[in-house]
Structures are given as structure tokens and as C-alpha cells.
Amino acid sequence: MEESARSANVKDASVYPVPKHYAEQSLLNEEQYLEMYRRSIEDNEDFWREQGQRLDWIKPFTKVKDTSFEKDDLHIRWYEDGTLNVSANCLDRHLAEHADTTAILWVGDEPGQSREISYRELHREVCQFANGLKSLGVKKGDVVTIYLPMIPQAAVAMLACARIGAMHSVVFAGFSPEALAGRMDDGHSRIVITANAGKRGGRSVVLKENVDRAIELCRETTVEKAVVVNYTDDRVNMVAGRDVDYATLVSEQSEDCPPEEMGAEDPLFILYTSGSTGKPKGVLHTSGGYLTYASLTHEYVFDYRRGERFWCAADIGWVTGHSYIIYGPLANGATTVMYEGVPNYPDVTRVASIIDEHQIDVLYIAPTAIRALMAEGDKPTAGADLSSLRLLGTVGEPINPEAWRWYHDHFGRGQCPIVDTWWQTETGAALLTPLPGATALKPGSATRPFFGIRPALVDNEGHLLEGASEGNLVLLDSWPGQMRTVFGDHQRFIDTYFSTFQGMYFTGDGARRDEDGYYWITGRVDDVLNVSGHRMGTAELESALVAHPAVAEAAVVGYPHDIKGQGIYIYVTLNSDQQPSEAMQRILRDWLRSEIGPIATPDVIQWAPGLPKTRSGKIMRRILRKIAADEVDQLGDISTLADPGVVAELIARHEALA
Ligand code: WTA
């Protein structure tokens, strides 16, 4: 394992104690957290038996937990003999007393646009669309691809799938047709739900054309139906017999759709995420455990009370959107805010004005957005009231203490705690996190484990490290929200997460634990980049690059970037008949955007006459990372390289770029 791509967080001495009103009024104070945590570990099964009661079961479970992290006997089963329906837990059970509560507060791209959808209304449309899906032949166990912008129909589509027992596979609407096709192929998905176009930052984003192209590109599956939300005025080509108008489909359906009875371990969704090797993998989550865990963390991490407006400013294309826009909040009967746009449109005051206009109680947002706003100084919150805010949160990447403080002072007016939640697509929901009434905060630290979670640090040989130390972050025991497999490739699941360290789940992250037992995530220790909170495998970028006819070889590394956290730095060796040029830079940039999507746009492309390799031909990324990060004084031993001369040449070219 190579050292982390980002240097460890600088130790920050300041501690922010729990504000007095939180210690008195929140669900748990520190003493109660410690006691409940102790019990969650010592009486693990009893703890989870109790927590399973937060859901409505059709047939109650009797078995709680059956899990093993041993790679030869790997299995993860929670509540396995219980049956339930996730959409009924997110909708139907709230109808008796809270039918008129706003389930989704939708805020549009343009200022002034918003819509409140009650639980009653959401339930009705989900039932109708679920019936619509059935009428198109979708059955329990099918994979339904969702490629939608941030509009209420995205939530409807996810919940409608859950209602009939189909797995949804949400693909971020910023992905290219190639990336979409790859995911539809992998899931053997025969139906896709999309919109004619989306709106973001004042611009119209083409979606249906991407879907048309993706359907042509699919090789492993034949997409038979495309449901199209005609959301904007843009006219799109509708293919007769294949394409179906969403509004027409829904209007023809009955409002009655009994929820399908699902086993706790039946799949709820797959969500593709990048790893250090090969294609993105379909992370599979199941029903009972996932929902228990998403709902429990949503309530405790955010100290959530009914009636509050909870704004998770993520996209439904990522796991954060799944767990904290849709499933966690709706399972808890919350009002969840769904924002269509971007934080800086029409200007940098947008986030603050949404908070004031809609009296938002909790804001949960990525560090990259905070840093982008921080770059504007006082402007993003100037003139804003923000007194409705009670709590702030962050997720997706390490937050630097400077950004933490800016967030705390500007959005939190020095009064709102910040919950820095560490988790992954694979973990389903937050694992390391402060609880606002229980945890004194240290800027930059995700602090302590949530209930039932047993984090540990190990060295590269897998030896457990004690006390204050730094190493690879692993988890020693299962929790209900854990992923169950890689869709279609169980061996890859075992190899990726359970083969590096015996009997442990390996996160791929490095972390430091301080003398108070607080965890500080230092970043990925594998070849995964985290660019603006988006995970990207260097292998994925490299294989896209070498697929270009002009490219002989390519290596991709991350480097520290003020706003994005990590930027994408690419070393390219062109074929001998090609000349480096600005035009070629543009061609390769556009190539990556079209192969993967705009999030894969490189920050730096450096021409490389050769790449540093070991004698066995392995590219030494450590060296490439040091050069990209301007840390050439820390190259270490390069004498084992096949051709050490390459390094001096790369350094010279890097310096010439600056
Ligand atoms: C990183 C997002 C530091 C980490 C929920 C992890 C974080 C990867 C934090 C997962 C945090 C997430 N502090 N790093 N609070 N949260 N990460 O799958 O490297 O998109 O492994 O899930 O993001 O990214 P993913």
C-alpha cells in the first residue's frame, strides 16, 4: 500500500464543546452516548434487535444478525427472516397522522421556484408510477435505471421501484452516454427513466439525447422502454413503441398499489462507484438493514425532530442523496429539501437565501462547496439572517480546519455544531460522526464511531494499532447498512474489501486516531481520487485515456487542490507519430468528458516522454504524485527504477508548466 495521496490533517488544537442548549435538549448527551455505544458493542444483537423496531415489518424478524468477515466464509445477513416494504415505511405509515406534512420541499434552479409535496401526494404519485412500471412489464428483481435531474420525479421513481421490489440503479445525470451505457449493461437493465432535459445553474442540460445514444451503445442488454419526464420545453424525439411519456403513463394509473412484500435481504438498489481497479462496481444494498441504519443515523446524527426542514445538498446520483435526501429522512417522516441547482447560481448568496426563504433547520453539504463559497469571503452570507439553522453537516471528503471554521462562523454564526460524517457508498450511511449533543468537536475530525460500529487502525501487515496512532482504517464487525455484494461479481466484493486484512472490512482510507480516541481521515490509501467529493478510480481514467488512438500510455494521480480537495493530474505519453500541442490537450480533455463526464475533466495534462517504472514494469505513482504536488524534495529512493533519468525530465517539464 502506498502512502495517502493527501497529507494528514494538521493537528488542530482547538476544541468546540457541546453548546449548552444541545447538551440539555438533544436526544443524547455525552454520558448517554457513551452508555448507548457501550451497549451497542457489548450487547450488539440486542441493540440491533431493538433498533429493528423502528421499521414497520410485514412479518417481524426473529433472527437479527448472521455475519462473518472471514473471506472463506463471508456472509452478511441482517433481520433475514423478516419481511417489509421500504416504500411503505417511507410513505404509507406516515399517512395516518402526518399525511399533510411536507415530505419533499423542492427548490428549483431559478430563485423563487419551489414546490411542497405532502406525504399524501407523494404516496399517490408513487403508487401510480409503480403501477405504470408494472404496466410496462417491470417485475420484482428487475434493474431499473434512473437518469434524472433533481426533480421530484426522481424520488417518485426510486420509491416506486422499492414499492414493486425492482432494484433501482440511479446514474448521476452528469455522466456521459458511454458511462450510462456501461452501467445499464452491467445491470442488464431493460428500462430507463429519464427527462427530456434538466436545469442547472441557468442552463438546460441535455438528457434524453444521452439516453438515446446510450441505448445504442449497450452491448449486454436491450433497453426496451424509456420513460421520459417532459420537464422542460425542449422537444425531444420519442421513439414509437419504446419511449413513454411519464405524465401520460401516470395519469392512466390507479392510485392503489399494494406494496410488494420483500425479504429483509432482498436488494433495494445498486449504485455504481469507482474502485482502484477496473470498471465501476455496482454496490448492492438490501432492504431491512439499510433502511434501519439510514433511518437511525438520520435521527441521531442530525438530532432530527419532526417538523424540521432538513436540507442535504447532494445529488440523488450519489449515495448521500440516496440515504439522506430520500430514505433516511422519509423513513423518519421528515421534510426533506431537494434542490435542483448549484450553490453559486444565480450568485454566491443562493445557499443562504434558500435557508432564509424556507427556514431550513439543518444544512448538510460537501466541503468542496464550502471551500468554493469561502473563496468569496463574506459575500455568501452577507445580509442573510440564517437564524433558522440549528445544525450543520459535512460529508464526502476531509474538511480542512480553515473551511470548517468559516462554515461554523458564517453559516453557523458561531452557534451551530458541525457534524463531519465519514462514510462510503459501501457503508450505506454514516459510521464515524459526532452527535451534536454528545460530542465536543475538533475541526477536521469525524470524531467517534456511531452505535454498533467498531473502527480500528492497522499497519500494512494487518496488525492492530493501539492508542494514538495512524494507519489503515478498517471495521471489525458488520452493521445493518453495509453493502452485501458487488452486483454480478461476488468475488470482487470479497477481493476488494475482505482480502487485504484477514477478518476485517478494509475501507481504502487512511486515518489517524488521537489521544482522545477521535478519528481524523487522511484520505484514500488506494488509487481512488476524491475530486470535489466525487470518487474516481485512476484506473478508470487511465483506461479511457489509452483507448484514445493518439495515446500510448497514461498515468493519473491526484494533487492537492484548494477548492476541489484533489485535482486530476495526468501524465500522457503520445504515440510516436503524434505531436504534443494545445490542440491535443483539448482533444484529450474532451475525450475524457465524453467517455466519463464533466467531473472527469483533468486539471493538468503533462506530456511525458516516459513514465517512471519499476524493473517489473509497474508505474511508480508515488513519484508521479510527489511531482504533481510540488514535493520533489520528498521523492525517496528512485534507484530501483528501470530508467531513473525519466524522473528528472518529468520534474523539468512539471516546473515548466507552472
Ligand atoms: C471520503 C460518500 C473524510 C473517504 C459518503 C471515503 C470522507 C470516500 C468523509 C467515500 C469525511 C467521505 N471525511 N473523508 N467526512 N466522507 N469521505 O463512496 O475517502 O462517494 O472512502 O461516499 O469519501 O466516498 P463515497
Predicted complex ipTM? 1.00
Q: Hey, which of 407, 421, 530 would you mutate to test ligand 1's pocket, going by the most ligand atoms within 8 Å of its Cβ?
A: 530
Q: Is 141 left (phi over 0), alpha (psi -120 to 50) or beta?
A: left
Which residue has its alpha carbon closest to ligand 1 atom 12?
Answer: 396
Which residue has its alpha carbon closest to ligand 1 atom 22?
Answer: 424
Q: Which helix (H) or strand (E) holds 363?
A: strand 362-365
**Residue 9, pLDDT above cutoff 50:** no
Atom of ligand 1 nearest to the CA of 535: 20
Ligand 1 mean position, distance from CA 408 (Å)? 20
**Window from 5-14, 165-174, 360-369, 573-582 with minimum mean pLDDT:** 5-14
Atom of ligand 1 nearest to the CA of 508: 21
Which residue has its alpha carbon closest to ligand 1 atom 23?
Answer: 396
Whole-number average pLDDT of the chain? 95
Which residue has its alpha carbon closest to ligand 1 atom 14?
Answer: 397
Which residue has its alpha carbon closest to ligand 1 atom 7?
Answer: 397
**Window from 370-384, 459-473, 633-647 with minimum mean pLDDT:** 633-647
**Residue 4, pLDDT above cutoff 70:** no
Q: Is residue 396 annotated as involved in ligand binding?
A: yes
**Residue 10, pLDDT above cutoff 50:** no
Ligand 1 mean position, distance from CA 395 (Å)? 7
Q: How confident is the model at residue 417 (pLDDT cuts 50, 70, 90)?
A: very high
Q: What is the mean pLDDT of residues 24-40?
A: 97
pLDDT at 1: 40
Ligand 1 mean position, distance from CA 320 (Å)? 10
**Residue 277, pLDDT above cutoff 80:** no
Q: Is residue 153 annotated as involved in ligand binding?
A: no
Ligand 1 mean position, distance from CA 339 (Å)? 21
* Cβ-based neighbours of 627, under 8 Å, separated by 6 or more: 635, 647, 650, 651, 654
Distance (Å) of CA 631 to CA 400, 528, 564: 20, 20, 19
Ligand 1 mean position, distance from CA 396 (Å)? 4
Q: Residue-wise over 339-361: b if at least 16 C-beta within 10 A, else e?
A: bbbbbbbeebbbbbbbbbebebb
Smallest Cα–Cα separation from 311: which of 162, 411, 402? 411
Which residue has its alpha carbon closest to ligand 1 atom 15?
Answer: 422
- 3-state DSSP call for residue 273? strand
CA distance 627 to 579: 23
Ligand 1 mean position, distance from CA 393 (Å)? 13
**Residue 130 CA from chain centroid, whole number:** 26
Atom of ligand 1 nearest to the CA of 426: 18
pLDDT at 636: 85
Q: Is residue 606 annotated as involved in ligand binding?
A: no
Ligand 1 mean position, distance from CA 524 (Å)? 9
**Residue 11, pLDDT above cutoff 70:** no
**Residue 430 CA from chain centroid, whole number:** 11
pLDDT at 186: 98
Q: What is the CA radius of gyration of the chain?
A: 24
pLDDT at 13: 65
Ligand 1 mean position, distance from CA 621 (Å)? 22
Backbone angles phi, psi at 518, to 5 degrees: -80, 140
CA distance 226 to 242: 6
**Residue 189, pLDDT above cutoff 80:** yes
pLDDT at 2: 38
Q: Is residue 507 annotated as involved in ligand binding?
A: no
Ligand 1 mean position, distance from CA 413 (Å)? 26
CA distance 364 to 304: 13
pLDDT at 75: 98
* Structure confidence by residue, pLDDT tens digits, 70-119: 999 999 999 999 999 999 999 999 999 999 999 999 999 999 999 999 99
**Window from 12-16, 333-337, 361-365 with minimum mean pLDDT:** 12-16
Q: Hey, which of 270, 509, 522, 531 would you mutate to test ligand 1's pocket, going by the most ligand atoms within 8 Å of its Cβ?
A: 509
* Structure confidence by residue, pLDDT tens digits, 434-480: 999 999 999 999 999 999 999 999 999 999 999 999 999 999 999 99
pLDDT at 19: 95
- Which pairing describes strands 267-273 and 281-286: parallel, antiparallel, or unpaired? antiparallel
Which residue has its alpha carbon closest to ligand 1 atom 25?
Answer: 424
Q: With pLDDT > 90 as the criterion, what percentage of the chain qualifies? A: 92
Place of cell 421534510: 335
Q: What is the mean pLDDT of residues 310-317?
A: 97
Cis amide linkage into residue 346, ω under 30° from 0? yes
* Structure confidence by residue, pLDDT tens digits, 192-212: 999 999 999 999 999 999 999
Residue 657, number of CB atoms within 10 A of its CB = 10
CA distance 463 to 470: 12
Atom of ligand 1 nearest to the CA of 398: 3
Q: Is residue 48 annotated as involved in ligand binding?
A: no
pLDDT at 276: 79
Atom of ligand 1 nearest to the CA of 273: 18
**Residue 465 CA from chain centroid, whole number:** 29
Ligand 1 mean position, distance from CA 530 (Å)? 8
Q: What is the mean pLDDT of residues 641-653?
A: 91
* Structure confidence by residue, pLDDT tens digits, 533-591: 899 999 899 989 999 999 999 999 999 999 999 999 999 999 999 999 999 999 999 99
Ligand 1 mean position, distance from CA 51 (Å)? 25
Q: Is residue 424 annotated as involved in ligand binding?
A: yes
Q: Is residue 607 annotated as involved in ligand binding?
A: no
Residues with CB under 6 A from ligand 1: 273, 318-320, 395-398, 420-425, 446, 507-509, 521, 524, 530, 535
Instruction: Read off the DSSP letter of residue 149.
Output: -
pLDDT at 639: 83
pLDDT at 8: 39
